[in-house]
Amino acid sequence: MSTSNKSTRLEHLTASAARALLIAGDITSADLVSAYIGRIAEHDNDVGAWAHIDARKALDAAEASDAARARGEAMPPLAGIPVGVKDVIDTKDYPTELGSEVFTGRQPSNDAFVVSQLKAAGAIVLGKTVTTELAFFGPGKTHNPHDPERTPGGSSSGSAAAVADNQAPLALGTQTAGSVIRPASYCGVIGFKPTFGYTSRTGVLAQSPPLDTIGGYARSVEDIALLFDCMSDFDAADGDMTAGAKPSLLAALKSSELQAPRLAFVKSPAWPQGDEAMRAALEQFAVRFGIVEMPLPAAFDEILRRQQIVQFSDIARNYGPIADANPDRVSAKLKEIIAEGRTFSQADYDAARKKQNVLYAALRPILDTYDAILTPAAAGVAPVGLGGTGSPMFNGLWTYLEMPCISLPLLDVDGLPLGVQLVGARGDDARLLRAAAWLMQQGK
């Protein structure tokens, strides 16, 4: 490392900053990976973000990346950068146990499509991060880095906590209701869920295919853009993927000077269930930036239940056989949701699916006027206790509407992080990230 960078804590770098140092030759990938391995060794007992990690395997990959760079080979965008992968996303080099004892020892023979893309981009899989039981409500072993007595959220708990605690610069999550955005809010990092169909889910646990979306965590909006530019190639095996080339998110961030976005403050039907401190903080934030509140049409009053009908019906369909075959190895909560999901008829399910586009169309007056929606990311700060993961009530409706969402760590209550959520129009992920980047510049 050069003299000017000797004081740099490598594990505190953003991925983009680390990439710049790697390109300049000021650090090696082995330096970077070693720093993260050291951080994990120091903090893993307290945070518990990792389900599987192999330090030697990660260092071998880092050294191979360094050797390729030394030979003068063309280096891809994430060359030498470590990434954590949620343990519902298949990896052929690590077990993928889905947060469930039913799948202890499960070893995929192939990488998920997104993992293959990340490896092709030069990323180093640092390990598998803890998920809740089958990416639902059953908590894993992870603690919130800001207060070990509080939940990190679910289901992408390990990924959010790893990035928040400087144990990885980037990590993958998944969201079916609020499993990316809520942990980001609780742990004080940036969490991004793109438009439905933006990333492939081949090789990823299927919970509710009309809702399931790959998301990610980072410590800068630029890093989010870098990550998703490297894993959004079209996959014909995923029938819900959007065909056609996607514009570079990173290029969109850098194409011109960031301008103040037009934002609409939307409280959503869950607003009364948010705690008083959260509501006050969001209202003050909106006032600070002159953001006008926009009410939702009355048709949105039932949207949270419609999302649950889709999700719970699919959980009954996809997880019911697992629970039936392993009644003593699944949680009571999962059994309860499976039972509820089985009460919905096909007509209920079809009606809820049909409403997705109907309700999205009802948002057009807002989306045609504003760049993004400002709305809560969670009901409050991370709740005390590790027996639950918090409520997705402020996230599920946007997932149901297939819209891109991002949580920004711009607020705190009594020293604990509270995210600000921005929601964009379908397919307008680049504009959403530009709005987020401007707000991160101005909002601290």
Q: 16, 29, 65, 86: which is the annotated catalytic residue?
A: 86
Q: H or E stretch including 218? A: strand 213-218
Write the pLDDT tens digit of every residue in 241-281.
988 889 999 999 999 999 999 999 999 999 999 999 999 99
Dist CA 73 CA 86 (whole Å): 30
Q: Which of 210, 226, 252 is the last residue of a domain?
A: 252
Residue 80, helix vs strand vs coil: coil
Q: What confidence score (pLDDT) does residue 2 get?
A: 38
Q: Whose CA is closest to 189, among 209, 202, 176, 173?
A: 173
Dist CA 160 CA 144 (whole Å): 9
Note whether 199 and 244 are same-domain residues: yes
Note whether 175 and 90 are same-domain residues: yes
Dist CA 69 CA 64 (whole Å): 9
Note whether 248 and 268 are same-domain residues: no
Q: How does DSSP classify residue 190?
A: E
Q: For the chain, what is the domain count?
A: 2
Are the C-beta atoms of 379 and 274 separated by less than 8 Å? yes
Are the C-beta atoms of 126 and 65 separated by less than 8 Å? no
Q: Tell which phi-psi region holds residue 399, choosing left (phi > 0), alpha (psi between -120 and 50) or beta.
A: alpha
Note whether 190 and 237 are same-domain residues: yes
155 is catalytic: yes
Q: What confidence score (pLDDT) does residue 245 get?
A: 85
Domain CATH number, residue 309: 3.90.1300.10
| Domain encompassing residue 223 | 9-252
Q: What confidence score (pLDDT) does residue 270 get?
A: 97
Note whether 162 and 275 are same-domain residues: no
345 is catalytic: no
Q: Which of 218, 252, 286 is the last residue of a domain?
A: 252
Are the C-beta atoms of 8 and 26 separated by less than 8 Å? no
Neighbours of 422 (CB within 10 A): 24
Note whether 231 and 298 are same-domain residues: no
106 occurs within a structural domain? yes
179 is catalytic: yes
331 occurs within a structural domain? yes
| Alpha carbon 96 to its chain's center | 18
Note whether 65 and 123 are same-domain residues: yes
Q: Whose CA is closest to 11, among 21, 24, 23?
A: 21
297 occurs within a structural domain? yes
Q: What confidence score (pLDDT) does residue 243 get?
A: 87
Q: 100, 179, 200, 208: which is the annotated catalytic residue?
A: 179
Look up residue 257 and give its two tokens: 């000077």
CB burial of 304-340 (b: ≥16 within 10 Å; e: otherwise) equals bebbbbbbbbbbbbbbbebbeeeeeebbeebeebbee
Note whether 226 and 276 are same-domain residues: no
Note whether 130 and 163 are same-domain residues: yes
CA distance to 15, 34, 350, per residue, from 217 (Å): 11, 21, 33
233 occurs within a structural domain? yes
Neighbours of 204 (CB within 10 A): 24
Q: What confidence score (pLDDT) does residue 3 get?
A: 33
Note whether 83 and 135 are same-domain residues: yes
Note whether 326 and 362 are same-domain residues: yes
2 occurs within a structural domain? no
Q: What confidence score (pLDDT) does residue 8 get?
A: 65
Q: 16, 29, 155, 391: which is the annotated catalytic residue?
A: 155
What DSSP letter does each residue of 394-439 carry, written as one string? TTHHHHHTT--EEEEEEEEETTEEEEEEEE--TT-HHHHHHHHHHH
List, for the chain, all residue ranges whose pLDDT scores fall below the cut of 50.
1-7
CA angle 42, 46, 51 (to 5 degrees): 85
Q: Whose CA is closest to 308, among 421, 194, 178, 419?
A: 178
